Amino acid sequence: MNYWLFMSGKTITKYAERILEFTGINVGGNQPWDIQIHHPDFFTRVFRHGSLGLGETYTEQWWDCQRLDLFFERVLKANIRGKINKWFLLKLIFLKFINIQTKRKSLEVGAKHYDLSNQLFSLMLDKRMNYTCGYWKNANDLDQAQLNKLELSCQKLKLEPNMRVLDIGCGFGAFAKHAAENYGVKVVGITISKEQYEYAKVNCQHLPIEIRMQDYRDVNEKFDRVVSLGMFEHVGHLNYRTYMKKVYECLSDEGLFLLHTIGNNITTTAGDAWITKYIFANGMLPSVTQIGKASERLFIMEDWHNFGADYDKTLMAWHNNFQQNWGQLKEAFDERFYRIWNYYLLSCAGIFRARRTQLWQIIFSKGIEGGYQTPRFNF
């Protein structure tokens, strides 16, 4: 039962203020993490509609915060769970993002998100157009962090000339291009985004790279290596086993599979309501348990590397680029879009900073004779 439907706005506001006491966030305060409320029904809507209400009220200018990333970081680090009763936590949106989503067609996220505008992504991302977490060891800027990530991924895959590589969710072609140019491999990149498909074809032209508009379930060939950078978040828990079986079928007996994905600290079967509606349709984050169960009896887990803290830096760099280039982007996008993407980038940065979500690179094999030696950063 949604108890908040039967409570007055004043009562809900009182509960909300009690929560905020534990976070150090003040309504109308002058700290960058404090919130400014412009509509009297703000707390009522948030408590009745959860994460969807919190995000939508921000988009509709019911509230503001100078530094959303700091707001989310403080809320998630406040350890509220041990300070208030369990019933109160049932609808505590500030604690974690949980909501049930409906299953949608796999092409929807391509059409609604990745096909938005190549201009948007070219102005927000690094020069190689990586739309995944960078690796910030020995890096001082986004371009170097993303180059590090590409090189780290290639080293983990132990690429050799003329190997055939399947890139599941190839994006704009950054990994395929780097691997082909620097390691002499042949790459098949697949995507469900029309805009990424067209961009990647041009980006990778004159290289031994084939870009396809294709679902991973329709690939029926053998490869020496399989890589997936930031695509597994769109697979959905009902398809995790299907995904792993397909990779197993496509991978040679001596092959390696690198799975690069955002991960959840807990097991869920749904994505966040606001993120699902406004950013990534049909998206959800896998847990360690879900990945383990999906790969069981198929693969040996050779290495599990967590550099989730680097996603905070990556998102803040994307947000800085987004802000710096809004003057050009606002010719194509309105103020509502600006607030949606501002909220998306900064709230996610705060969540990673609070360590509520992770970024994992996992190496799987069918069993390598003599074992697998793990590289971390060899350049």
Annotate 190-217 with DSSP letters as a single string: EES-HHHHHHHHHHTTTSSEEEEE--GG
Measured CA to CA, the distance from residue 178 to residue 227 in angstroms comes to 13
Which residues are known catalytic residues?
348
Buried b (16+ CB within 10 A) or exposed e, 193-210: bebbbbbbbebbeebebe
Number of H helices, E strands in the chain: 15, 9
Q: Using the Cα atoms of residue 295, residue 299, residue 301 and residue 305 in order, give the sign of their dihedral.
A: negative
Q: Using the Cα atoms of residue 39, residue 43, residue 47 and residue 52 in order, give the sign of their dihedral.
A: positive
The residue with tokens 């997936």 is: 228
User: H/E element holding 11?
Assistant: helix 9-21
- Angle among Cα 356, 361, 362 to the nearest 5 degrees reads 115
Record the tokens describing residue 226, joined without a space: 């399989």
Annotate 145-174 with DSSP letters as a single string: HHHHHHHHHHHHHT--TT-EEEEET-TTSH
Annotate 262-301 with DSSP letters as a single string: EEESS--SS--HHHHHHT-TT--PPBHHHHHHHHTTT-EE
Rg (CA), the chain: 22
Using an 8 Å Cβ cutoff, are 344 and 335 in contact?
no
3-class SS shares of the chain: helix, strand, coil, % to 5: 45, 15, 40
Record the tokens describing residue 368, joined without a space: 């390598």
